[in-house]
A = this chain, B = another copy of it.
């Protein structure tokens, strides 16, 4: 598979879905030159959405991080996060009582914005779970892992309730060479120990793509073959885009490095339509 220039490919589509981490930004901040990519999209009237497995911050906060670096076209409505889907689920399915969460207070604020009552795991009384209707894995920060993960296990043993994982990623990069376990990884462990089935939101699941697709089509009709998904990870971005029926670009600026791309494509059988160095070119 030949490596192509991103701009050449992009011009053939009417809308582009971008993964955030590894595509638009990395541990150092925005990828240099990214603002020209967005200028190019605007000039050519190519619409876009950012699809990100993230439940730690609201779309407003996520957009602000781009705006503060000079990219003003990324408005909150352009950001579709797995946290949004989790929030939507809770709105539909939890009509009363409270939702317990594992994460920072800030990640819970976003849930509360719909009127949902939230409670941090650390504030739960194990002997009074009557009001608790659901449990959400939001973020890997903001709590004592040993104390609160064990508490989650015992909450779920005492009361049967829906469990939502608002970010399917099992790890995320924190520097050039180091990673951290993500909330999706902690949720997998608890699910295994408890033996129950959790509900997960995030790529590669079709729901993220559907959500963006509906938003696009609310403005004007766009067919699937006019949309391009750009991501750095085969097992979330690329297989998710492929399954949704849209073309896909694997970029080598993040999780999949140039030396391993060919081997990974061949060993997983997940085949992107194109490969590009990055979205800057």
A268, B163: Cα distance in complex, Å:
11
Task: Count identical subunits in the complex.
Answer: 4
B92 near A224 with CB under 8 A, answer yes
Contact of A271 among B161, B186, B205, B235 (CB under 8 A): B161
Binds B, one of A37-45, A55-63, A64-72, A151-159: A151-159
Whole-angstrom distance between the Cβ of A205 and the nearest chain B Cβ: 6
A266, B163: Cα distance in complex, Å:
13
A268 near B196 with CB under 8 A, answer yes
A245 near B88 with CB under 8 A, answer yes
Binds B, one of A25-33, A111-119, A171-179, A249-257: A171-179
A195, B210: Cα distance in complex, Å:
28
A194 at the interface (CB under 8 A from B): yes
Whole-angstrom distance between the Cβ of A150 and the nearest chain B Cβ: 5
Give every chain B residue within 8 A of A207 (Cβ-Cβ): 206, 210, 243
Contact of A243 among B89, B149, B193, B263 (CB under 8 A): B89
B206 near A150 with CB under 8 A, answer no
A177, B155: Cα distance in complex, Å:
11
B177 near A153 with CB under 8 A, answer no
Whole-angstrom distance between the Cβ of A258 and the nearest chain B Cβ: 15
- Size range of the chain A interface in the assembly: 35 or more
In the complex, what residue of chain B is closest to A266 when comparing beta carbons? B160
B158 near A177 with CB under 8 A, answer yes
A93 near B242 with CB under 8 A, answer yes
A3 at the interface (CB under 8 A from B): no
B149 near A199 with CB under 8 A, answer no
Give every chain B residue within 8 A of A239 (Cβ-Cβ): 197, 199
Whole-angstrom distance between the Cβ of A119 and the nearest chain B Cβ: 19
A246, B93: Cα distance in complex, Å:
7
A36 at the interface (CB under 8 A from B): no
A92 near B225 with CB under 8 A, answer yes
Give every chain B residue within 8 A of A198 (Cβ-Cβ): 269
Give every chain B residue within 8 A of A210 (Cβ-Cβ): 206-207, 210
A211, B10: Cα distance in complex, Å:
28
A170 at the interface (CB under 8 A from B): yes
A221 at the interface (CB under 8 A from B): no
17 A–B contacts from the bound complex (CB under 8 Å) = A93-B242, A140-B146, A144-B146, A145-B145, A145-B149, A150-B180, A150-B181, A153-B171, A156-B269, A157-B178, A160-B266, A163-B269, A196-B267, A196-B269, A205-B206, A206-B210, A210-B210
Can you add 15 more A-B contacts, CB < 8 Å, to A153-B180, A196-B267? A145-B149, A150-B181, A153-B179, A154-B177, A154-B179, A157-B178, A161-B269, A171-B193, A188-B192, A196-B269, A197-B269, A199-B239, A206-B207, A206-B210, A207-B243
